[in-house]
Amino acid sequence: MAGGLFLLVYIISFVTRGQAYLQFVEPGYTTATSSSTYANYIASRTVDGDVSQQISRCLHTDSKTDINKAWLRVDLMKTISIKSVKFWYRNDRGSGYGNTIRLRGYSIRVSNGTALPPPESSCYTDPGNVTLSTIIEKDCERTAKYVWIYQDNTLDGICPILEICEVQVFGCETGKYGVNCNKTCSHCKNKVSCGAVSGKCNQEGCVHAGFQTPYCQHCIDGTYGEECSETCSEFCKSRNCDRKTGACNDGCLAGYSGNQCDQKCGIGRYGLKCGESCMHCLEGICNNVNGICTKGCESGFKAIMCNTPCDKGEYGRDCKHKCSGNCLNGEICDPRDGTCPSCAAGFQGTKCDQKCSDGTYGGNCSEICGGCLNGTTCHHVNGQCPSGCKPGWISTPNCDLPCAAGTFGLDCLNTCSGHCLHSAPCDRSTGHCQDCSQGWTNNFCNEQTGKPRKDLERMTLEHLKLDNKRLAAETAFLKTKEKYLWLKINSEFPIVLKNKIKPSVSERKLSRMKQFNPE
């Protein structure tokens, strides 16, 4: 009982000195450990309540040259919300500079385990370039069980050394914060631990959605939900929304709807509050913001919003196609599909974009072409034959009048023989008869039968022609030979025989033959 009263008086004594926070180092209860010990300057002297600063009342770590770090670890025996750490350093070395030269570059660290914590757990790290006081207090707003004073600096030319006389740790019990620790951490998710000074919550965050860690105040603009981790819709008109539900406070930008403005306008709608209707867009789809038709226009319309009908002579999607121009009486084709009510002469098909098939022409392609030369087709509009008429037809533009009976051939200029069987007309193209009357023969029936003399005469004439050709060849050969002999004789007897050679026998024979030439 007496010990407990002493502890209470000890704690309150620090509170009444203006600290306004509890002091958690309790002599006889709190323990301390150091990395090494020089002589009998042990770590427990730093938690015995004695703030004397002579080295005889302080910790002194070892000074062996192979030491590369020195530390003091204070075990608070429980986890607390730390506000600050205060410690007293030796002051009996003759000067301020000399007293704390070995302390420069130190750091204060915290942990919940006994392993040396990493540098990022530090509450404070001394820059190492100024003379330090022998009584130091540094803020360390953390929740932890262990407090460390760590040194790895060798600025004075020897190994790292700590010479600490007393340590005090100020703060609140976990779950409390503020001056006199009279506020609770109920705003934090675990309702147990928060910063001793400001009440900021640890990594577990806030207990209520719609607040921003670490202090769990209202969400910043543009966020909402648990721990304010959700972002207001970018389509909220002012980018602000209800901190808890995310509903947009000022409505939606054009093209969006819903409490959170996270729904695009439905198909066929666009604009503010989705109050506008898309025009003649393909599949009814337009940009939800400005109404531009993203897939193009329905047939019969054009422009970016598909609100302009096709011009005359245009049709189809986005009016990209031209009418055939062959609708009857110059009518305009349908702007949706390009069809014509009826076609002009010479054309067919629903769009009147096809000429009449070969062999036809005129309105509805119902007229049949005449007898055009060489099987060519007539003109698809007027039926005229471009190359004239074939045999058997009178030469009119359309070749649509056959030869009169008894005539045949090109332009009907030939007369049939008149000897076709039963006085039938000859073929108007060739003049041939299917059969001949008695006494007549060949295709034309224009040659009489039973007259072999004429045949013999023809044979005799052919033989005479062949004989004439043979004799002409022999004469040419003899003439060439005689010229050769004449040249030879003339070269051997040039004076005697000059101008003495008479015409040869062959030359005289040829002269006589020319008097009768059956050719």
- pLDDT tens digits, one per residue of 228-254: 888 999 999 988 899 889 999 999 999
Residue 462 is predicted with a pLDDT of 57
Neighbours of 26 (CB within 10 A): 16
- 517, pLDDT greater than 70: no
Residue 499 is predicted with a pLDDT of 43
- 86, pLDDT greater than 50: yes
Distances (CA, A) of 132 to 87, 102, 167: 12, 10, 16
- Residue type present at position 202: N
Among 80-89, 189-198, 329-338, 494-503, which is the least confidently predicted range? 494-503
Q: What is the mean pLDDT of the chain?
A: 85
Of the pLDDT bands very low, low, confident and very high (cuts 50, 70, 90), residue 281 is very high
Residue 166 is predicted with a pLDDT of 98
Taking each helix axis as running N to C, give the angle between helix 505-513 and helix 452-492, from 0 to 180 degrees, rounded to the nearest 10. 150
Q: Which long-range contacts (CB under 8 A, 24 or more apart) does 304-308 make?
A: 305/279, 305/281, 306/278, 306/279, 306/280, 306/281, 306/282, 307/279, 307/280
Of the pLDDT bands very low, low, confident and very high (cuts 50, 70, 90), residue 416 is very high
| Between 180 and 518, the higher pLDDT residue | 180
CB 164 within 8 A of CB 41: no
Distance (Å, whole) CA 489 – CA 97: 156
Neighbours of 50 (CB within 10 A): 15
Residue 507 is predicted with a pLDDT of 46
Among 327-331, 345-349, 354-358, 452-456, which is the least confidently predicted range? 452-456
Residue 467 is predicted with a pLDDT of 60
For the chain, what are the domain ranges? 2-180, 462-513
| Between 89 and 203, the higher pLDDT residue | 89
Query: Which H/E stretch holds residue 91?
Result: none
Percent of the chain clearing pLDDT 90 (strictly above): 63
- 223, pLDDT greater than 80: yes
Residue with tokens 């190492």: 128
Of the pLDDT bands very low, low, confident and very high (cuts 50, 70, 90), residue 500 is very low
Of the pLDDT bands very low, low, confident and very high (cuts 50, 70, 90), residue 14 is very low
Residue 18 is predicted with a pLDDT of 42
b (16+ CB within 10 A) / e for 72-111 = bbbbbeeebbbbbbbbbbbbbbeeeeebbbbbbbbbbbbb
Handedness of CA 214, 216, 219, 223 (dihedral sign): positive
Selection from 103, 101, 121 nearest residue 113 by Cα: 121
Number of H helices, E strands in the chain: 4, 29
pLDDT tens profile 433-465: 999 999 999 999 999 986 544 445 445 555 655
Residue 515 is predicted with a pLDDT of 41
| CATH topology (fold) of 2-180 | Jelly Rolls (2.60.120)
Residue 190 is predicted with a pLDDT of 77
Q: Helix (H, G, I), strand (E, B), or coil: what is residue 184?
A: strand
What tokens appear for 45 in the block?
């002297």
Distance (Å, whole) CA 306 – CA 257: 24
What tokens appear for 253 in the block?
């930008």
Which stretches does DSSP call E strand in 90-130?
107-111, 122-125
Q: Please give the average per-residue pLDDT across 201-227, as a whole number.
A: 81
- 19, pLDDT greater than 90: no
Residue 213 is predicted with a pLDDT of 79
Q: Please give the average per-residue pLDDT across 388-415, as a whole number.
A: 92
Residue 17 is predicted with a pLDDT of 42
- 83, pLDDT greater than 60: yes
pLDDT tens profile 43-73: 999 999 999 999 999 999 999 988 999 999 9
φ, ψ of residue 19 in degrees (nearest 5)? -75, -35
Residue 327 is predicted with a pLDDT of 95
pTM of the predicted structure, to 2 decimals: 0.47
- 136, pLDDT greater than 50: yes
CB 201 within 8 A of CB 216: yes
φ, ψ of residue 74 in degrees (nearest 5)? -105, 125
Handedness of CA 176, 177, 181, 187 (dihedral sign): negative
Distance (Å, whole) CA 365 – CA 353: 13
CB 387 within 8 A of CB 376: yes
What tokens appear for 340 in the block?
């014509």
pLDDT tens profile 146-205: 999 999 987 666 789 999 999 999 999 999 999 999 999 988 887 778 899 989 888 888
